[in-house]
Structure 1
């Protein structure tokens, strides 16, 4: 139950409360005292109870409030990154950071004067790890606290409001329905949350559009002996992967477990119901997983399911089955675009995903647009919005094309596509907007927080790790504060692990590079907290930037795996940033000034979470990247990936992402004053009337029409 409660709090910022009243004879003030104590403790890490939550807490028994408070405080401290001690290599950071050459010369001098250390220095080589004071904390955390004054609280500090929730069962159900019914492909963390919720909740949403989500829900259905939700053969393959603890996206091979006879029968029955000749063409795309699954399901033992046996015959090459994709590719390769359009007419989503290619190769663009218009009603809302974003970026030549995989690994390529006619693009965009508007529900009064207008629509959540203040890739928000400080914390699992926090700083043309890292501790406006090379008990690094003095308008934080475990191998690894005013002192890490924090993951060796940009008006903004570079197996440095990182960042910064602003404009056509309020914002106000519908970053995916 505690894990469910924590999940609801971190995902929805709501505290589940059971309808429990104080027992007879209990002090009426005891619950109120405990509630105020909890609120004061929450404020120390940048959270507070809403008036409704405080009022509900005061009606509970005091001991129940205390027990709940311990769990809530532990959850939000983990959400903001305050569950660990953030020490710094330089105890006075950001003050008294030594010059880089002076620092290295001092360490080397100490090593030469130390007979034991001097013996470890080999002639002609310099191993940094052999220097006595390098890469390890030289003071205790208590010494760091003593060296820094208390943080001066200011009105600009982050205060995140925790709302009063319903019962744990009701809150878990709402979260389950939201995640399972999402139109956007989920992150790995979302799938893990969905698995936990599916095992707890008895009800299910009527519609589960994303195949990965459906596989997780089917896993719970199979365990309960309920009918499975499948309409393609690949749905059954994903379910088998889910039951084996494998990858339901089918990107990584799964080692299938041995299935019980009842499970084999259920999987083969489901397969038999969907294995029509038209759908057998999907089997060759995953030929090897099907072969391995057949060895576990023993289809020859179940002659009642002959069509299921045909699936494995196709996988083994005994039976031929040409898939739609192969036939479409053959038609396009032969220059028969009209035939490809005819083939794709039965799969509206596939046709729209290929629309750019079809328009470029067709003899008649009007015929292709006509086919696309007929396909619009049969495609999902996410496909329509994704195509809208793609086509609006074809109105002007692009500096390059950005490609990312499900892990956030990114690469660029030169855009060699011929341009599309503006008349064609304008018509296609109008068609899309008309279809999207028609799918939006009738609204009452629409209220949109201006701070959310430039947030990108969550068309895919695969590379976005849930956390505090997280927004979809391409989102732009203001940076408030005079000091910017980003941080990384990691703890190794089994071997020495060295991560390096760095900052690449570029001019407006993405050149004239400058950096802050372990090879350059400071410049005129930034300081580095010092390099740590061992994280047995955890390690933290910081970069502090005085924004008003910055001589570069583009600042790209980076986290490099220099040695040891990857981000997804470490026991813990997370990144975030803080902002504060110049007058504020405080420790290197102050939870109430944290604006964003999330885990690092993925197989890439270099993380590019976001980029800070100074506009022509002098104001700083942050744009979310969620990117990872492949990097090298070890010894990654900011100097080594400057060209790749700058090219990637430029491509995503210059891309015109589809934002809340555009969808809000379409929604206004369906709104009318006087009805229930629909609010879209970073955080819901307290004075909304009953019956209002609220969309925050945590539920922004619910805006995407079906």
Structure 2
């Protein structure tokens, strides 16, 4: 028997872990049946493996269990060890999670100030071989290793502490001061299964694994927008297993995602020996000058999004010629336009490409660079070549001392500044995406008299725009009939930042907004109608709290892929336990991360905190596990906060914003590792292991140059969690949450207002539009388990059908257990689907990727490709 499970190495997970996360599949070669005695021995091993998986929130499917039972105990042990290692890495359960106070939350001090005073007095006044300055005991003071602080074993409980009580930094595990007691789960304690529970399926053998890897690669290559960091990592893993670079049958003719395309082309160019085979494919996929810039940036180890500057590496001559040839066959005006968007980067890249050396062979490429660099025309051979080329370009001007091009963006800005709407619309119609991005501005410029012209142009442009742009424009424009108070921007960058400012725009006329919404919604429905029709579709009403994905480039790598801004209910009667773990690297030095929570009332007034400055809020409403101030390898350090929602609500808390600060301003990406998340604990939260992987609902990485992360916001009274996944710009050191309370209030209020205003399309809305366009029957499942069925009527338009879904105007009752469902949009994959069906599920649960096509949130957007 051969197992195809491999361990994950480095920051990027291996192929087995990738397919495990994306498809819930384990790949094993089936072995011949063993004698009954051997099989009986394996049954015991499988039972142990099932118990270990259940402790992590996973179950074995029947088919996977049947394959595992054919293995010997030795083989089963190998399979189980590697499988559990991959799962533990995803959950963060492969790290030590001992808090400062081992019996947290019970042993967390009630008086944080008194604890601080005791620490300071011991540090300043305690001397060797002298009585304890706190209690007067003569024989209980001893130094701890390695910090050598003098600690009284009577005043500080070594059985409960995991670090030096004075400096709160880890000490030697064998130090006699430490007398750790092992805390085990209480027998009979109730421990519910997590919402993210997943049933693992047998994916097949080695050939099946490669086929599934190719299928997942195809999915990523079809995405229209920028991939999330986790999808980017998975793309690299899948490419490494795509096969020989000379066999490019898996490579599609077009790759709609620009950054994805750059990464794929750069991967093809990793082996210079294969240039002869791959260079034609590279040339065929380059359609803009920015494609060239992205490709070279990725090849040089830089950013495909072109957010951060890249130091370009040397470019071999064959590749140099290929890139110049690709530029030369494009419209020189568009090339010059693209170059100006990233002028500094292109000036540096031109030094590597040497376009003027090839000016006679690739004259248009040389002309575009000359326009960018404002090259003087001196009458030499190069100047004559540039002038001759420019004379063939209508938009070019060859008046010495330099050549120039009339660029599209300059013409648009001039037309808008001069209120020349006909000219602006003519130009914007040439680039439909830009029209939608500027729709609000253009409608305000047009006023009531010319709004109809704008909307007519919009109707002609909409069919040619990328789906993410349409969804963004629709969300924004439909909220513009009322005066806004704040605007929220998510600037393109290496971290997910939110910029909030006052909204000084006047509202738009109702009639103009209504028609714009009708045009954009109609276009979405038309595109959805081109997808494969089905008979019955199911939609979970709970998806209306989930936001369609946007700005995924900066999304955190997470256990559960939840789009930014999404709101989900929290389990009733359970404690929310926040957690943070980090480990220092050689470059970071001593690093102190702090897990914090800020509490606000209905009007966003700051009413309390729970962090290292205040370990308890309102008794046990919020309890901190203690402030560890360093995290040396290999153990690292962990902090926790327990939140009792009932007690928080009784204390007047409406909103709770969680945050992670780097106290001494060390960026997250300087650390060996850093991650955080939350788990839903049962009511008896004082029992059991402090870090219970079974109860982990979300775990996400802390990365990038950020020093402060704001991952989520809890509506205490509404019992919901909103996933923010935002970083904050902070300066200096000694960060504490109360010092940032005002900024956190503005952030929480601004983002809550944004995501509840309708300015971002909900995944439930998108699911409704797609189901209405594709299905004859649509069933809505409500949170209480009830259903409502809708059947398209003979004379009913798709738009009318979509508008009726979710209303009381229902049709006949549908028994889902007796109905073949072909399409589903679910919170949990607990609904049987017909073979070959499609399903989006936030938590896939028991959906089998071999039987059902599993969709990601981004796939729902990418499916709406333009004509």
TM over 0.5: yes
2:706 equivalent to 1:599? no
Indicate whether 1:548 and 2:646 are aligned. Answer: yes
Corresponding position of 1:356: 440
Contact 1:185 1:462 (C-alpha < 8 Å) held by counterparts = yes
C-alpha spacing 1:129/1:556, structure 2 compared with 1 (3 Å): farther
For residue 109 of structure 1, report the CA deviation from its aligned partner.
Answer: 2.8
Relative distance call for 1:96 and 1:308 in structure 2 (3 A) is: same
* 1:133 to 2:180 alignment: no
Which stretch of the first structure deviates more once superposed, 498-507 or 424-433? 424-433
| 1:254 to partner: Cα distance | 0.7
Residues 1:265 and 1:487: Cα distance change in structure 2 (over 3 Å)? same
User: Which residue in the other structure is 1:276 paired with?
Assistant: 332
How far is 1:663 from its partner?
1.5
2-structure distance, mates of 1:101, 1:693: 57
SS at match of 1:607: strand
**Maintained 8 Å contact 1:233/1:275:** no
* CA displacement at 1:581 relative to structure 2: 1.9
The offset of 1:71, in angstroms, is: 2.0
1:533 to 629, 646, 655: 629
Aligned to 2:499: 411
Partner of 2:770: 667
Counterpart of 1:454?
545
Residues 1:384 and 2:470 are matched in the alignment: yes
- CA shift, 1:545, in A, is 1.1
Aligned to 2:203: 165
Q: Structure 1: give runs of 5+ residues left out of the alignment.
A: 119-127
Answer whether contact 1:448 1:681 (CA < 8 A) is retained.
Answer: yes
- Taking a change above 3 Å as real, the CA distance of residues 32 and 395 of structure 1, as seen in their structure-2 partners, is farther
The reply to whether residue 365 of structure 1 matches residue 451 of structure 2 is yes
How far, CA to CA, are the matches of 1:340 and 1:209 in structure 2?
Answer: 27
User: Is the CA contact 1:487–1:540 (under 8 Å) kept in the aligned structure 2?
Assistant: yes
Q: What per-residue deviation string (whole Å, max 9, x for no partner) do you get for residues 250-283 of structure 1? A: 1111111112222222222222222533432221
Q: Which residue number corresponds to residue 121 of structure 1?
A: none
State the SS of the aligned residue for 1:234.
helix
Residues 1:565 and 2:661 aligned together: no
Moved more, 624-633 or 280-289: 280-289
Shift of 1:19: 4.1
TM-score, normalising length: structure 1: 0.92
Q: Which residue of 2 aligns with 1:682?
A: 827
Q: Distance in 1 between the 2:583 and 2:172 partners?
A: 18
Worse overlay, 442-451 or 61-70: 61-70
Q: Residues 482 and 265 of structure 1: is their aligned pair in 2 closer, same or farther, counting only changes over 3 Å?
A: same
Instruction: Point out the structure with max Rg over C-alpha.
Output: 2
Matched, 1:485 2:573: no
Please name the residue that 1:125 is paired with.
none
Alpha-carbon distance in structure 2 between the residues aligned to 1:206 and 1:242:
21
2:114 is aligned, of 102, 105, 110, to 102
Say if 1:145 and 1:587, in contact at 8 Å, map to a contact too.
no
- Out of 162, 172, 178, the position equivalent to 2:219 is 178
User: Distance in 2 between the 1:144 and 1:681 partners?
Assistant: 45
Moved more, 248-257 or 579-588: 579-588
Matches within 5 A, 1:174-213: 174-201=215-242, 202=248, 203-213=250-260
Shift of 1:555: 0.7
Number of matched residues?
695
1:89 alignment partner, SS class: coil
Moved more, 406-415 or 58-67: 58-67
Q: Per-residue CA shift, 1:521-565, capped at 9, x if unaligned? A: 112211111111111131111111111111201111100111152
Tell me which of 27, 35, 45 is aligned to 1:17.
Answer: 27
Q: How far did 1:661 drift?
A: 1.7
Q: Which residue of 2 aligns with 1:643?
A: 742
Unaligned 5+ residue runs, structure 2? 1-5, 8-12, 131-146, 150-163, 243-247, 376-402, 778-818, 843-854
For the 8 Å contact 1:8–1:16, the answer to whether it is kept is no
Structure 1 residue 691: deviation in Å? 1.4
Instruction: Measure how far apart 1:177 and its partner are.
Output: 1.6
- Which has the larger displacement, 87-96 or 28-37? 28-37
